[in-house]
Copies of this chain bind each other. A is one copy, B any other.
Amino acid sequence: MWRSCGAGARAAVAHGLGRAPPTALCSVSPQDLAVPNTGWSAAMCEQFQRLLRRAADGSWRRIPSYRRGLDYLPEVVQMAVGVVTRPGPRLFLRSVDEEGAGFEYAIFLHASGHRTQCLCQLGPYLEGHHGFAHGGAIATLIDSTVGTCALAVAKASVMTAKLSISYLAPVPVGAVVVADSRMERHEGRKIFLSCHVRDTKRDTLYAEATALFIQVEDTKPPPAASL
């Protein structure tokens, strides 16, 4: 729903957009998870290498991905709010510890800043109907892909206002898919986007979606409800 660059960091630093490498200011450097691990299938690794090769000329760029939303903030901001080492929240797509069990993904941003592609392996913990990914998992993948694109367009905090998804074919658990998102229109604070989720050979269109994101002012987030 929300994507933010964080107070005092309104440039496109969230989701690793323009993010500087960790510095000595940070006591705990977040681990970039958008790289191969033992849970990645051969197909996932192959597609990842293909996208890296395509990015070699600078037309696309891989965006780092972290465990917690706060890890996307510049270290100096993390230090200021005193949350660098605090355990607790996790980015929804990174909620599963076991490599390969949940979302394994890497998002690539086009040099124009108006297009993102998310390579994603949907693990067995994302199941809905036996053998297939949950509709909510597909929605999560789409929301994250278009949200990252909207962030790059807005260069400021954005939030999902509308998300409409047509599910065209079930996605088998374990499948590797590509969610391809682009900005369609930018009107004031409104950013309209589209997204298509296909298999890596582009033989099957699993889902198509439209989204509206709103650029918002950075606000101090409220304390989480007590658990």
Contact = CB atoms under 8 A, between A and B. Distances in A.
Interface of A: 1-4, 6, 39, 41, 43, 68-70, 73, 88-93, 95-96, 100-102, 121, 123-144, 147, 157, 159-167, 170-176, 221-227
A174 to B, nearest CB: 3
B163 A124 contact: no
Given A95-B102, A139-B139, A224 B173 contact: yes
B227 A174 contact: yes
B2 A89 contact: no
A69 B129 contact: yes
A131 B41 CA distance: 33
A173 B89 contact: yes
A222 to B, nearest CB: 6
Closest 6 CB pairs of A and B: A136-B140, A2-B129, A131-B221, A1-B135, A174-B225, A139-B139
Contacts of A167: 1, 159-163
A124 to B, nearest CB: 4
Given A137-B140, A143-B134, A221 B90 contact: no
A3 to B, nearest CB: 6
B129 A225 contact: no
B227 A39 contact: yes
Contact of A92 (B128, B143, B157): B128
B162 A124 contact: no
Nearest to A91: B127
B127 A68 contact: yes
B135 A143 contact: yes
A127 B225 contact: no
A222 B172 contact: yes
A175 B224 CA distance: 8
Contacts of A92: 125-128, 133-134, 136-137
